[in-house]
């Protein structure tokens, strides 16, 4: 048995709390940037905010 | 006991203070400024809050996106060539031949030279009318070599210069890895009649994986931030064909005093570097995790 | 065991590769010892001893601006190397010998400073140096102190890591014994750690000195007149119209000289240095 720190969630790698917050922030920024580039004429930016916060919460709790 | 943690923190304090002053503070500063509209030459030179407008401009900025693309392209070509070449040279260095130490020292030389001097060196080699490269390309192959006119030549020259500059680094790390390679499995495989490429694929490559990944990681991080030597060789030209991201910030955005926008760009560059860095790091540790 | 044929083929290949490595530098040396009229025409890689001229070097060295650049570079690199070694030694000692909560995170954070792309820090540092870090009329912009402090970002993580490895190699029993005899932390550092880590500190000092000497991007942005270094001086030759190639080559030769000179001393440590010990040289 390995005793590596962190845990396995649905993410492909073993993560600790810091990793999951980090991934959430990275995705938060990426979603916003891509949204501004491609989707903003159709949908306002706050949709991206809501989506990425939800995604971030999911990753932090279950990832 | 003398070893209270307090003393330890006191010893660490100066280091932390200096790094906060020159590393953390600038980061926080750029983070804040990137959400402001602040241009010294604008009608209203005071910083004003603009939320994400700087970033909105940024993702539609064709010049910026192009410089990112060029940087990635440059990174791909130099790292790929350096790894292949460096590995071959390291294998060559493993053999037994006279004056090995001398050759090794000569090979290490480019690593220590200031990047700006590397750029100067290559500029002297490539200046039309003076440098040997344009002269002999014309003389022997009838090829017209002008960095200031042909984008492909400029890009290729920058890549070649970087290969000249950094391949020794790959050679040395590979050499360090190869010299720890246990000889028994290789010889056993030879006795069993394995082909050289099979030995390479099944024994040497798996053994070298950690060193290889570390080297790739470090080389990618360095290639992404290349500035000095490219500036000396091509000034980012012709046009913007070798204007990599660092050059773009330094020479195009910075002098315009559009500080808010420049900050957003700096921050985005930092973001991309961190993401690439982290992805590589995760790939490296994940592989090692499986092995243990 | 190697067959002679393989041996000499390898040798020949290495001669070839060494020529490729040295050729650009050799060419630059040739340009630097040619007079202006000899520069153009059919390029030859042979040195015409009868036509060597040291005028380019003489002109450059006699130039007051160049003297100032050189002096600035010397002061900045030396002070930075000294500062980095001193701070790095204290920090590395703390990291190696003390039990502190969260020190692994601190270690990791210090190392990440080295990975950051300098271009992303140009703008904030420029703004901080010109507008925020100032007392009255005096600001950090265009001062040697500004550069010395700044180069710590590049060099301190490196020195910190290198010195920690060295101090870890010194048996802790030695300082335990001294503490029992009533020595203070300062005395232990001075009489035990510094002498034993001496060679390591020297290598660290030399490598950080070279890194500081070679730095260009920050030096060109955060100085204007007084604190310009030799690398910015070299770059200025390109932007000036009617480039004087001979003098530029001379300056470039003088810029790369120190690095070439210390090569032999630090060669063994370069790999470990540049990879942060991930790969042992």
Per DSSP (E only), the strands in chain C are 134-135, 138-139
Q: What are phi and psi of C230, to 5 degrees?
A: -65, -35
Total domains in chain B come to 1
- Do the Cβ atoms of C168 and C92 come closer than 8 Å? no
- The kind and range of the H/E element at B37 are strand B36-37
Chain A neighbors of B284, CB-CB under 8 A: none
- Do the Cβ atoms of B108 and B195 come closer than 8 Å? no
Output the six-digit token pair for C180.
Answer: 């029992």
Domain extent listing, chain C? 1-53, 62-274
Identify the pLDDT of residue C239: 59
Angle at C143 between CA C138 and CA C149, to 5 degrees: 110
3-class state of residue B145 by DSSP = coil
pLDDT greater at residue A10 or residue C55 = C55
Stretch A1-29: mean pLDDT, rounded?
A: 76
Q: How many CB atoms lie within 10 A of CB A34?
A: 13
DSSP string, B58-94: HHT-HHHHHHHHHHHHHHHHHHHHHHHHHHHHHHHHH
Interchain CB contact of C128 with B (< 8 Å) = yes
Choose among C29, C85, C55: nearest CA to C209: C85
Choose among C76, C85, C281: nearest CA to C200: C85
B-proximal residues of C, 203-242, CB under 8 Å: 210, 213-217, 221, 231, 234-235, 237-238
Rounded-to-integer distance, Cα B275 and Cα B277, Å: 5
Residue with tokens 């003088």: C254
Chain B neighbors of A14, CB-CB under 8 A: 289
Domain that holds residue B226: 48-291
Q: How many CB atoms lie within 10 A of CB B28?
A: 11
Chain C neighbors of B15, CB-CB under 8 A: 87-88, 90-91, 110, 156, 160
Chain B neighbors of A40, CB-CB under 8 A: 56
In a domain, B40, yes or no: no
pLDDT band of residue B292 (cuts 50, 70, 90) is: very low
Q: Quick one: how many helices (H) and strands (E) in chain B?
A: 14, 2
Beta bridge partners of B39: B258
Angle at C17 between CA C16 and CA C18, to 5 degrees: 90
In a domain, B176, yes or no: yes
Residue B89 belongs to domain with CATH number: 1.10.3720.10
Instruction: For residue range B48-106, list pLDDT tens digits in order.
Output: 888 888 898 888 999 999 999 999 999 999 999 999 999 999 989 888 888 888 898 88
B204 DSSP assignment:
I
3-class state of residue B257 by DSSP = coil
Choose among C208, C207, C220: nearest CA to B232: C220
Rounded-to-integer distance, Cα C103 and Cα A51, Å: 36
Pairing assessment for the beta strands B36-37 and B48-49 based on DSSP bridges = antiparallel
Residue with tokens 């396995």: A8
Task: Note whether A33 contacts B59, CB cutoff 8 Å.
Answer: yes
Task: Note whether B23 contacts C116, CB cutoff 8 Å.
Answer: yes
- The ipTM is 0.88
In a domain, B165, yes or no: yes
- Do the Cβ atoms of C150 and C77 come closer than 8 Å? no
Rounded-to-integer distance, Cα C232 and Cα C85, Å: 25
Angle at C93 between CA C92 and CA C97, to 5 degrees: 120
3-class state of residue B227 by DSSP = coil
Identify the pLDDT of residue C242: 59
- For residue B289, pLDDT over 80 is answered with no
Contacting chains of B (3 CB pairs or more, <8 Å) are A, C
DSSP string, A20-33: HHHHHHHHHHHHHH
Task: Note whether A37 contacts B268, CB cutoff 8 Å.
Answer: no
Identify the pLDDT of residue B73: 94
Q: What is the mean pLDDT of chain B?
A: 87
Rounded-to-integer distance, Cα A28 and Cα A22, Å: 10
Which residue among B122, B123, B176 places its CB closest to the CB of C279? B176
- Do the Cβ atoms of A49 and A35 come closer than 8 Å? no
In a domain, B27, yes or no: no
In a domain, B8, yes or no: no
Output the six-digit token pair for B148.
Answer: 């200031």
Cα distances from B104 to residues B172, B179, B210, in angstroms, run 9, 14, 23
Cα distances from C221 to residues A30, B139, B210, C228, C278, in angstroms, run 30, 41, 38, 10, 32
Provide CB contacts within 8 A for B74, sequence distance 6+.
B155, B158, B159, B162, B223, B226, B242, B244
Rounded-to-integer distance, Cα B269 and Cα B265, Å: 6
Interchain CB contact of A4 with B (< 8 Å) = yes
- Do the Cβ atoms of B173 and C279 come closer than 8 Å? yes
- Torsion of Cα atoms, C35 then C36 then C42 then C44, to 10°: 30
| Phi-psi category of residue B57: left, alpha or beta, with phi > 0 → left and psi -120 to 50 → alpha | alpha
Choose, out of B35, B50, B55, B268, the residue to mutate when testing the contact with A (most A CBs < 10 Å): B55
Q: Quick one: how many helices (H) and strands (E) in chain A?
A: 2, 0
In a domain, B265, yes or no: yes
3-class state of residue B33 by DSSP = helix
- Burial zone of B231 (CB within 10 Å; 0-12 exposed, 13-18 middle, 19+ buried): buried
Nearest CA in chain B to C246: B124
Instruction: For residue range B11-43, list pLDDT tens digits in order.
Output: 889 999 998 988 889 999 999 989 988 887 777
**pLDDT mean by block of 10 residues, chain C; 281 residues:** 78 92 93 85 82 88 90 95 94 87 80 82 89 80 90 88 86 86 85 87 90 92 88 78 80 88 78 66 47
Provide CB contacts within 8 A for C135, sequence distance 6+.
none
Rounded-to-integer distance, Cα B165 and Cα B118, Å: 7
C36 DSSP assignment:
G
Output the six-digit token pair for B73.
Answer: 């392209």
Identify the pLDDT of residue B291: 40
Tell me how close the Cα of B251 comes to any Cα of chain A, in angstroms.
24
- For residue B255, pLDDT over 80 is answered with yes
Task: Note whether A29 contacts B271, CB cutoff 8 Å.
Answer: yes
Output the six-digit token pair for C13.
Answer: 């290949």
Identify the pLDDT of residue C243: 73
Q: What is the CATH number that goes with domain C62-274?
A: 1.10.3720.10
Choose, out of B120, B211, B260, the residue to mutate when testing the contact with C (most C CBs < 10 Å): B120
């Amino acid at each position: 048995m390995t005793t590596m720190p962190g845990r396995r969630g649905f993410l492909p790698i073993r993560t600790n709390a810091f990793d999951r917050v980090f991934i959430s922030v990275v995705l938060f920024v990426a979603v916003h940037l891509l949204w501004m580039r491609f989707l903003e004429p159709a949908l306002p930016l706050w949709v991206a905010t809501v989506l990425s916060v939800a995604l971030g919460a999911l990753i932090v709790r279950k990832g | 006991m003398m070893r209270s943690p307090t003393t330890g923190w006191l010893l660490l304090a100066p280091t932390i203070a200096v790094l906060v002053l020159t590393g953390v503070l600038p980061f926080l500063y750029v983070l804040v400024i990137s959400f402001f509209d602040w241009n010294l030459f604008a009608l209203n030179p005071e910083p004003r809050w603009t939320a994400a407008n700087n970033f909105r401009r940024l993702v539609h900025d064709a010049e910026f996106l192009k410089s990112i693309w060029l940087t990635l392209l440059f990174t791909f070509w130099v790292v790929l060539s350096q790894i292949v070449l460096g590995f071959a040279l390291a294998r060559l260095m493993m053999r037994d031949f006279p004056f090995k130490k001398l050759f090794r020292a000569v090979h290490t030389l480019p690593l220590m030279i200031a990047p700006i001097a590397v750029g100067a060196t290559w500029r002297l080699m490539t200046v039309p009318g003076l440098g040997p490269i344009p002269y002999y390309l014309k003389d022997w192959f009838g090829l017209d070599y002008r960095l200031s006119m042909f984008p492909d030549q400029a890009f290729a020259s920058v890549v070649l210069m970087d290969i000249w500059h950094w391949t020794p680094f790959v050679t040395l790390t590979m050499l360090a890895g190869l010299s720890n390679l246990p000889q028994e499995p290789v010889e056993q495989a030879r006795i069993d009649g394995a082909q050289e490429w099979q030995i390479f694929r099944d024994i040497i490559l798996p053994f070298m994986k950690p060193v290889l990944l570390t080297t790739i990681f470090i080389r990618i991080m360095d290639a992404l931030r290349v500035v000095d030597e490219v500036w000396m060789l091509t000034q980012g030209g012709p046009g913007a064909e070798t204007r990599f991201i660092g050059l773009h910030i330094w020479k195009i955005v910075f002098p315009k005093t559009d500080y808010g926008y420049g900050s957003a760009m700096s921050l985005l560059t930092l973001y991309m570097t961190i993401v690439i860095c982290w992805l590589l790091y995760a790939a490296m540790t994940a592989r090692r995790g499986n092995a243990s | 065991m190697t067959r002679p044929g393989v041996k000499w083929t390898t040798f020949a290949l290495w001669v070839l590769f060494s020529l490729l490595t040295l050729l650009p530098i050799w060419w630059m040396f040739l340009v630097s010892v040619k007079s202006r009229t000899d520069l153009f025409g059919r390029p030859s890689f042979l040195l015409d001893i009868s036509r060597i001229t040291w005028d380019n070097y003489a002109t450059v060295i006699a130039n007051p601006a160049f003297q100032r650049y050189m002096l600035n570079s010397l002061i900045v690199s030396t002070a930075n190397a000294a500062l980095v070694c001193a701070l790095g030694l204290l920090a590395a000692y703390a990291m190696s010998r003390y039990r502190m909560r969260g020190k692994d995170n601190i270690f990791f954070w210090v190392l990440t400073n080295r990975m950051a792309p300098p271009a992303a820090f140009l703008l904030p540092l420029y703004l901080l140096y010109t507008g925020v870090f100032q007392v009255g009329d005096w600001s950090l912009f265009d001062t040697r102190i500004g550069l010395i402090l700044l180069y710590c970002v590049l060099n301190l993580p490196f020195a910190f890591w290198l010195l920690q490895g060295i101090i870890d190699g010194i048996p802790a029993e030695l300082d335990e014994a001294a503490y029992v005899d009533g020595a203070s932390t300062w005395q232990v550092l001075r009489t035990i750690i510094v002498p034993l880590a001496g060679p390591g500190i020297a290598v660290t000092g030399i490598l950080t000195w070279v890194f500081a000497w070679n730095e260009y991007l920050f030096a060109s942005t955060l100085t204007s007149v007084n604190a310009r270094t030799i690398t910015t001086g070299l770059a200025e030759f390109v932007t000036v119209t009617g480039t004087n190639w001979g003098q530029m080559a001379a300056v470039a030769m003088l810029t790369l000289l120190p690095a070439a000179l210390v090569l032999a001393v630090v060669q063994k440590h370069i790999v470990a240095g540049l990879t942060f010990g991930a790969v042992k040289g």
